[in-house]
Amino acid sequence: MALTLIKTLTASSSATLEFVDGASDVVFDNTYSAYEFHYVSMHPATASEFLFQVNATDDAGGDYDTSLITNTFYRAELAESGSSGNVSYSAGNDQAQSADYCKLIQSVDNEAYDSCSGILTLFNPSSTTFIKCFKARTNATHHSAEYTMDAFCQGYINDTTAIDEISFKFTSGNIDAGTIKMFGVS
């Protein structure tokens, strides 16, 4: 496997970070059959969930609110005290045929040293035949009680139109800091 760096975006009190084919040197098309997004030290201005959504080519420049996502979500977590270690499905974080932004991880804390990091893989976004499968794994310090959370989010975008735009944001407030690198996988 080889990764080819396509674009790096760095947040600075940004509402969203977006990779759009044809803009700012981003090529997000059929050059690769899989793309990876590596998000590192994403720090929220407000403690909240880290999310993504896409636009299909028939909604270019849209508001990331038309592609229907169905995904599962499970996570392992442990408090710094050593208590409450568990792995479980999280029904509150999945979605079924929803055009909402998809949660990559819950409640990232916004203390100065907190953030989340992970990798989202999107398979064959340029297909005009198949729905688009994705998988992500994200680590964070969990809001409210100093937990570590290892979250696994996977599913599909139920759209047979090509996908060529992707957006990342927190549920509430800006992305205070953090970097996302977009890679093509070959």
Binding site for other proteins (CB under 8 A): 1-5, 38, 40-41, 43, 76-83, 85-87, 112-119, 137, 139-141, 146, 148-150, 177, 179, 181, 183
Tally helices (H) and strands (E) across the chain.
0, 13
Minimum CB–partner distance for residue 45 and other proteins (Å)? 15
Closest to other proteins by CB, 83 vs 129, is 83
Distance CA 169, CA 175 (A): 7
24 Cβ partners below 8 Å, 6+ apart?
7
Closest separation in Å from C-beta 24 to other proteins: 18
Q: How far apart are CA 66 and CA 13, in angstroms?
A: 26
The minimum distance between CB 34 and other proteins, in angstroms, equals 13
Q: What is the DSSP string of 114-132?
A: --EEEEEEEE-TT-SSS-E
To the nearest whole angstrom, how small is the minimum distance from the Cβ of residue 171 to other proteins?
19
Question: Which of 149/157 has CB closer to other proteins?
Answer: 149
Cβ-based nearer residue to other proteins, 61 or 82: 82
Nearer to other proteins, 40 or 99 (CB): 40
Give strand pairing partners of 135. Answer: 121, 154
- In the DSSP assignment, the letter for residue 8 is E
